[in-house]
Structure 1
Amino acid sequence: MPKVVISGYYGFNNIGDEAILKGLIDGIKDFNQDTEIVVLSQYPEFTSKKHNVRSIKRMNLFSIIKEIKDCDLLVSGGGSLLQDVTSKRSILYYIAIINIAKILNKKVMIYSQGIGPVNKKYNRNILKRVLNKVDFINVRDENSKQELVDMGIEKDILVTMDTVFGIKKPDIEIGKEILRDINIDFEKKIVGLSIRPWKNNKQIVTEISKVCESLVEEYDYQVLFIPFHFYADSSIIKDIYKNIDKKYRENVFVLDKYLYVDEYISLVGNLDFLIGMRLHALIFSVLMGVPVVGLSYDPKINNFLNFIEKNEVISILNINFNDIMNEVKCLIDNIDDERALISKKKDEFREITDIHNKVLMDLIENRGEYFGKN
């Protein structure tokens, strides 16, 4: 029975990363149900329960070495692991795990990752040395590939998509039940908002508050705030809610309980459209055929919006009520075309994710078929 060890940002209550893990596990199991999977996690019991796999503490070096020692493949990813913007130390952790596997003469796959930005010269140099030793590199966008090429990575690099597009779509009724619990009126339209804290929180609170008021007053929408990284996002969402004029608040709702992957995805599937900062809020929307307006705080958002032919990107550092509402008006005026485009992209992305999952199984089973090798 083949064995895979998975390293990533798992067990931290970030629904985007948990969705990545689900997509990865679903992809492996689709090809071989018997594969043993071990996940490095901050909370192993939580990960084991949610994903029905074995899990160990991500900082327990002895256990990590023990599991990697008898595995067939270490998978590093997916997500934005190899960057030094949101954290200065985490990149060294992920590089160290990869290096342990190569020291133990194990195969390593960089899986569906968004690379960079990597700004520190030391980090770029060590990443170059380590990644040139791995067996296969798969990234989720062309900019990530270019970042690696610029570092001096000499390996072939496969560009596909975020592995979340490989998730099986959940029943839409799951989300409907959650919306009923918070008293959403299904006779009215619903717009979702995914907002995260950033450097200019006060400006975000001011501008998003005005957006909510306009959506309620001018378009008769119900507004639903959805915290995708529950504890991290809840504070700024509360600040926005308090800043909204009281006369509009009866049509503004805040999801105040932690959900898991299928529940979030199903919930998003009940929206008319979504305005989002979080990458996986946008990805969940496309997965469920829901149009989006993206607010970018990171190149990964720009990259994804370009994938879905959204070339007018609103920067969160220059966030402005008028810019957002211009995009919203354009989307509403062309809603049928937007839905058709999103549906087409969703199908394309699903086919692309099958490619990196096949590569993964080729590596595990020593078939040598990846990149045409026999």
Structure 2
Amino acid sequence: MVVALSGYYGYGNAGDEAILMALVREAQRRGVEPVVLSANPKATEALHGVAAVPRAKPAALAALARADGFLSGGGGLLQNKTSNKSLAYYLSLLYTAQALGRPTWVLGQSLGPLGPGGRRLTAPALRRSRAVVVRDRASFELAKQMGVPEDKLTLGADAALLLKPPKVERDERLVTLVPRGRLPDEANLRLLEVGRKLRDAGYRVRVLGFQPGFDEEALDLFDGFDRELSGDPNLVFELIAGSGYVLSLRLHGLILAAAAGTPYAGGSYDPKVKAFCKESGAPYWELPGDPEAMLRVALHRTGPNKSALRDLRVRAAEGFNRIWGKRAEPPLKERA
């Protein structure tokens, strides 16, 4: 079965590319052949080893017509906080696939924020999908409010939680800070203050940007620190896995830390960050944040809750099972 995959792919955002890594792996293990709608098909094909086509309408519509089904996800696609244009794009793909008679699925998404008009536009696309798998409880409740039938609705989790941790040596004295571009300066400056206090306390501090072309101004604030900027999810995952603690203003700084087994705390620039920290039992702060409180959780390596994380990974796997059935057993050499 060939399935077209849609998300924020091909833009060099390490978090979204980590989602795609997990989607591709889980799809292929279930006998599904993914075709990715991408802003940079050549880069997507090189990074993920799958077929990709331009996400712009003519090529995307042709891919939907050729595919056996369409998957929207993962990430925060169905919201109009970013823009109505973004919501219209992702909904148009769902509606087009449904008009073509293709089965559609929504996987690993946070729904909203959605205004009244956004809810009216989104609800029919969700109700007509074969399965809607959301990644947090707030989205689950919102989907119910929009009339998604219970037999179609599943509480899942972010697909990137299923990524296998890289084999790297962890430095317990290394704290990785993940700022975010286009936030109010004060949020990143508070993180900078924590970085200085940690360095004064004898810790190594690394500053990690997730999206070239987006995070440069934020990284510029951290002059004098060890800085990395990469949209490569493999490199970003390795750097996080080698850290003793992560303080992140990006959701996937937290999710990749969870997948790697690195403790973390997050700054809630969006409801999805608070939702993930609460469900995983990790500390979080409302922006701009209290540097002393942030310093304390880093020094004590507070959170998350291991049992809660296990539950989230089970939920992530069950989301795929709900759509495509249980995956085939990996080859023996992979299990070894």
Contact 1:38 1:53 in 2 (8 A): yes
Give 1:53's match in structure 2, choosing from 32, 50, 54.
50
Shift of 1:75: 0.4
2:285 & 2:114 partners in 1: Cα distance?
23
Contact 2:12 2:231 in 1 (8 A): no
Contact 2:249 2:268 in 1 (8 A): yes
Contact 2:36 2:50 in 1 (8 A): yes
1:229 — aligned with what?
A: 211
Describe the superposition over 1:245-268 as per-residue Cα deviations: whole angstroms up to 9, x where unpaired.
Answer: xxxx4xx31114x35222211211
Unaligned segments of structure 2, at least 5 residues: 327-336
Describe the superposition over 1:147-168 as per-residue Cα deviations: whole angstroms up to 9, x where unpaired.
Answer: 1222333453100110011222
1:324 — aligned with what?
A: 294
- Bigger radius of gyration: 1
1:129 & 1:215 partners in 2: Cα distance?
50
Matched, 1:296 2:268: yes
Shift of 1:345: 4.2
Secondary structure of residue in 2 paired with 1:74: strand
Larger relative helix fraction: 1
Shift of 1:357: 1.6
Shift of 1:206: 3.3
The 1:266–1:137 alpha-carbon spacing in structure 2 relative to 1, beyond 3 Å, is same
Shift of 1:37: 1.5
2:308 & 2:260 partners in 1: Cα distance?
11
Shift of 1:205: 4.1
When normalised by structure 1's length, the TM-score is 0.81
Matched, 1:101 2:101: no
Contact 2:105 2:131 in 1 (8 A): yes
Describe the superposition over 1:257-303 as per-residue Cα deviations: whole angstroms up to 9, x where unpaired.
Answer: x3522221121111010100101000111111111121110100010
- Tell me the number of residue pairs that the alignment of Structure 1 and Structure 2 aligns: 326
Alignment of 1:131-142 (within 5 A): 131-142=126-137
Contact 1:85 1:118 in 2 (8 A): yes
Shift of 1:170: 2.5
1:309 & 1:36 partners in 2: Cα distance?
35
2:331 — aligned with what?
A: none
1:246 — aligned with what?
A: none
Shift of 1:320: 2.6
2:228 — aligned with what?
A: 255
Secondary structure of residue in 2 paired with 1:4: strand
The 1:357–1:153 alpha-carbon spacing in structure 2 relative to 1, beyond 3 Å, is closer
Give 1:238's match in structure 2, choosing from 215, 220, 225.
220
2:199 — aligned with what?
A: 216
Alignment of 1:332-351 (within 5 A): 332=301, 338=303, 341-342=305-306, 344-351=307-314
Give 1:146's match in structure 2, choosing from 141, 155, 163.
141
Contact 1:289 1:346 in 2 (8 A): no
- The residue type paired with residue 258 of structure 2 is V
Secondary structure of residue in 1 paired with 2:257: helix
Give 1:360's match in structure 2, choosing from 288, 306, 323.
323
Secondary structure of residue in 2 paired with 1:254: strand
- The residue type paired with residue 244 of structure 2 is D
Give 1:195's match in structure 2, choosing from 172, 179, 202.
179
Larger relative strand fraction: 2
- The residue type paired with residue 228 of structure 2 is L
Secondary structure of residue in 2 paired with 1:225: strand
1:206 & 1:71 partners in 2: Cα distance?
47
1:31 — aligned with what?
A: 30
2:323 & 2:188 partners in 1: Cα distance?
43
Question: Identity across aligned pairs (percent)?
Answer: 24
Secondary structure of residue in 1 paired with 2:87: helix
The 1:362–1:197 alpha-carbon spacing in structure 2 relative to 1, beyond 3 Å, is same
2:191 & 2:325 partners in 1: Cα distance?
47
The 1:58–1:191 alpha-carbon spacing in structure 2 relative to 1, beyond 3 Å, is same
Shift of 1:171: 2.8
Runs of 4+ aligned structure 1 residues displaced above 4 Å come to: none
1:371 — aligned with what?
A: none
Describe the superposition over 1:337-360 as per-residue Cα deviations: whole angstroms up to 9, x where unpaired.
Answer: x47x34x44443333222122222
Shift of 1:72: 2.0
Secondary structure of residue in 1 paired with 2:96: helix
Shift of 1:198: 4.2
Describe the superposition over 1:53-90 as per-residue Cα deviations: whole angstroms up to 9, x where unpaired.
Answer: 111110132x3232222322100000000011122310
1:314 — aligned with what?
A: 285
Shift of 1:132: 1.6
2:330 — aligned with what?
A: none
Matched, 1:71 2:67: yes
Contact 2:161 2:259 in 1 (8 A): yes
Secondary structure of residue in 1 paired with 2:242: coil
1:350 & 1:237 partners in 2: Cα distance?
31
Contact 2:165 2:241 in 1 (8 A): no
1:117 & 1:59 partners in 2: Cα distance?
24
Shift of 1:362: 4.2
1:225 & 1:67 partners in 2: Cα distance?
39
The 1:137–1:267 alpha-carbon spacing in structure 2 relative to 1, beyond 3 Å, is same
Secondary structure of residue in 2 paired with 1:231: coil
